[in-house]
Amino acid sequence: MKIKKYIAGALLTIAGLSISGCQPEMDFYHPVNPSEDNYYNTQEHLIYAVNGAYNIMQRGGGWARVMPFILNNRSDEFLFTNGAAQGEPESAELSAYTVGADGGFMVLAYQDMYVFQYASNFALKKLEENQDNAFDLNNPTDKKLYDRLRGEAYFLRGLSRFYLCMLWGDQIIDRSNVPASSDYMKAPAQPGEVYQNMIEDFKTAAGLLPVRSEVFANSNDVGRATRGSALGFLAKAYMGRPLLDGTAGAGSAEWGLAKEVLKEIIDSGEYDLVQNYRDNSSETNENNEESIFEVQFCQSQDTQGFNPAANSDQNDWIYTGQNTMRQIEMTTPNSTNHWWNSMPSLALYNEFERDNIGNIIDPRAYHGLWIPNGASWKGEDGSMWDYTKLFGGDYTVRQGKWFGARKYAYDGWMSDPAKSGINDRLLRYADILLMYAECCIETGDEATALIYINKVRDRANNQVPSTDSDAGLFYTTGRGNLPTAEQLLAAAPTLGKVVSSRDGSLILPGTTVNTVRRLLKHEYSVELYLDGWRFYNLMRWYNNPNDPDATSILGNLEKKYLVQIEQTELSGAIPFNYSKHWILPIPSKELNSNPNMKPNATN
């Protein structure tokens, strides 16, 4: 389901959000015109209430613009560019660990994640009221749809809690209701409260939601949350408990519970790995059998488009429509009609396995990055630009150091690259398999872990159809030669190493892949890079005393500023400090307007 199916009927819900803080002296009620009191009294309109909650993920503070920066730039996979440093410092600050309490991108995401929670609570409230008996709950057909909609709303509320807690820590405001005026200035939740509430939301949603095949049987419902969506994020929460639960500490991950939930997803038969890895980040084959949950986008060519020079509101659908701006900001250089505010790092580039003469042999690198000897990009003139032309002209001196992100990008020129319809995949089956492998390692079963790691590695070797961009590359003419997990362990290469081109000094030592645990971390990196999970995973591993490498796991973040200088010669980034940078600061606007809110350790 493309997001245009979600937006229908959402505007009345969202309109209520913009005036929720006002206290009118007079309340006029028109008996005919739609209002919150008389609108949600049919099944169609209650579906719209749930659609409105989905739609918040499309806003500028959501995945339409800001969330991909927050989730990716803080990791060691992305660096800021000169364009960001000069024209979009909010994105550069995320990568440089210099975000303040007024950081624009951070504030916008904070706002919209709470709008997301509000809209989910609003949908649950309207469903509970079931005005005029819109759903006959004694009718099995009505009850089935009613429960599915409730499951979707519970899942979306759990998702809002997950991302709010993941990004701002445990002691934040949390609501299970649409606030009344007396509840506006709420104090932070008690330690552990948000975690328990998100767990309950995901479990409740899993109990109400049908499986993927049942939901997607109706083409109008393709892309909605399913039982697998709720279970997948439930497992994410269990494994990330040290980060999400203020009453828990390092070593508190719920490996057994997560393993049970992940095995249910695997055994359901509802999901599989797609043949072509590229399908996981392009507009082709969206909502496929590998997708657990996606944020839905489609090209809204009739919108005005976001224009920073005109001070347009990036949260106004008049400007952004149902587009994502990831294409214009996080993919290819400025010479391709893009803003190009983030670039993949040398640490990521050097993580991919190579042959004995230095050529990358992992097809996933070429499917998701614009790198030397890789895929070509179609220029405005219709010709194919290889890497040397894509990074030619003024960029030539940076070849071998500057890279582009092919993930979530079109393979050629767009007259208006701000209008992208590529869905953002929040969770996919490959991640489920790797998470299960991690749980197996933690529960003493490395043999089974290797089986599931190999499932992911084997897909990477698939031969895929040739395109203009991939023509002649080895993975279009036959299967790849990526070794098995066991073969890689036997070879024990050191991956991710970064050396200064100036004096040959060691910037990042890399990791020697000589244990199953290290192999799994490598596989997470080369499979899920730029999917938004790397920073979260690093924080999890740092908080796992079972991991022999826990004390050194943050080395890439601590020295990221040196990689930044090596690749771009841009300074301003600072060394990562876990106690200050693992979460984002509570926005000063929140602290100034709500006397009951407290700063966190990052403020």
For the stretch 511-527, pLDDT in tens is 999 999 999 999 999 99
Single out the residue of 205, 117, 235 nearest to residue 165, CA to CA.
Answer: 117
Backbone Cα Rg of the chain = 24
pLDDT in tens, 135-184: 999 999 999 999 999 999 999 999 999 999 999 999 999 999 999 877 88
Neighbours of 28 (CB within 10 A): 6
pLDDT computed for residue 394 by the predictor: 83
d(CA 168, CA 363): 36
What is the per-residue DSSP string for 452-515? HHHHHHHHHT------TTTTT-GGGTS---PPPHHHHHHH--EES-EE-TTT--EEE--EE--S
User: 241-255 burial, b if ≥16 CB within 10 A, otherwise e?
Assistant: bbbbbbebeeebbbb
| pLDDT tier for residue 336 given thresholds of 50, 70 and 90 | very high
pLDDT in tens, 232-280: 999 999 999 999 999 999 999 999 999 999 999 999 999 999 999 999 9
Single out the residue of 272, 334, 277 nearest to residue 473, CA to CA.
Answer: 277
pLDDT computed for residue 36 by the predictor: 73
pLDDT (mean) for 178-194: 91
| pLDDT tier for residue 319 given thresholds of 50, 70 and 90 | low
* DSSP symbol at 428: E
Q: How far is CA 401 from the centre of its chain?
A: 25
Note whether 436 and 266 are within 8 A (CB): yes
**pLDDT for 302 beyond 80:** no
**What residues contact residue 9 under an 8 Å CB cut-off, 6+ apart?**
44, 45, 47, 48, 49, 51, 52
Q: Residue 355 domain-assigned?
A: no
pLDDT (mean) for 291-309: 82
Q: Residue 333 domain-assigned?
A: no
3-state secondary structure (DSSP) of residue 238 = helix
Q: Residue 230 domain-assigned?
A: no
pLDDT computed for residue 131 by the predictor: 96
Amino acid identity of residue 452, one-letter, is Y
Kindly report the backbone phi and psi dihedral angles of residue 278, in degrees, each rounded to the nearest multiple of 5, phi listed first: -60, -25
Q: Residue 126 domain-assigned?
A: yes
Instruction: Please state which of the ranges 254-268, 382-396, 441-455, 544-558 shows the lowest mean pLDDT.
Output: 382-396
pLDDT computed for residue 443 by the predictor: 97
Helix 89-96 and helix 560-568: axis angle, to 10°?
130
Q: Which residues span the domain enclosing 100?
A: 4-225+583-593
**What residues contact residue 463 under an 8 Å CB cut-off, 6+ apart?**
475, 476, 477, 478, 479, 480
The total number of residues shown for the chain amounts to 603
Per the DSSP assignment, residues forming a β-bridge with 427 are 293
Neighbours of 532 (CB within 10 A): 22
Neighbours of 383 (CB within 10 A): 10
d(CA 212, CA 231): 12
Note whether 255 and 439 are within 8 A (CB): yes
d(CA 35, CA 39): 6
Kindly report the backbone phi and psi dihedral angles of residue 407, in degrees, each rounded to the nearest multiple of 5, phi listed first: -60, 135
Beta-strand relationship, 424-428 and 404-405: unpaired
Instruction: Please state which of the ranges 113-127, 317-331, 352-366, 466-480 shows the lowest mean pLDDT.
Output: 317-331
d(CA 312, CA 304): 10
pLDDT in tens, 52-88: 999 999 999 999 999 999 999 999 999 999 999 999 9
What is the per-residue DSSP string for 530-567? TSS-HHHHHHHHHT-TT-TTGGGTTHHHHTHHHHHHHH
| pLDDT tier for residue 321 given thresholds of 50, 70 and 90 | confident
Q: Residue 36 domain-assigned?
A: yes
Opening angle at CA 452, ends 447 and 457, nearest 5: 115
d(CA 116, CA 18): 13
Note whether 318 and 304 are within 8 A (CB): yes
Q: Residue 356 domain-assigned?
A: no
Dihedral sign for Cα 350, 291, 67, 205, please.
negative
Quote the percentage of the chain above a pLDDT of 90: 88
Q: Residue 522 domain-assigned?
A: no
The structural domain count of the chain equals: 1
Note whether 154 and 65 are within 8 A (CB): no
Tell me the CATH number at 214. 1.25.40.390
pLDDT computed for residue 512 by the predictor: 98
What is the per-residue DSSP string for 95-119? HHT---TT-HHHHHHHHHHHHHHHH
226-229 long-range contacts (CB < 8 A, ≥24 apart) are: 226/270, 226/293, 227/268, 228/265, 228/268, 228/270, 228/271, 228/292, 229/155, 229/205, 229/292, 229/293, 229/427
Q: Token digits for 96?
A: 């440089």
Largest CA distance in the chain: 77
Half-sphere exposure of 485 (CA within 13 A, CB side): 26
3-state secondary structure (DSSP) of residue 167 = helix
Q: Residue 180 domain-assigned?
A: yes
**What residues contact residue 200 under an 8 Å CB cut-off, 6+ apart?**
none
Neighbours of 120 (CB within 10 A): 30
| pLDDT tier for residue 339 given thresholds of 50, 70 and 90 | very high
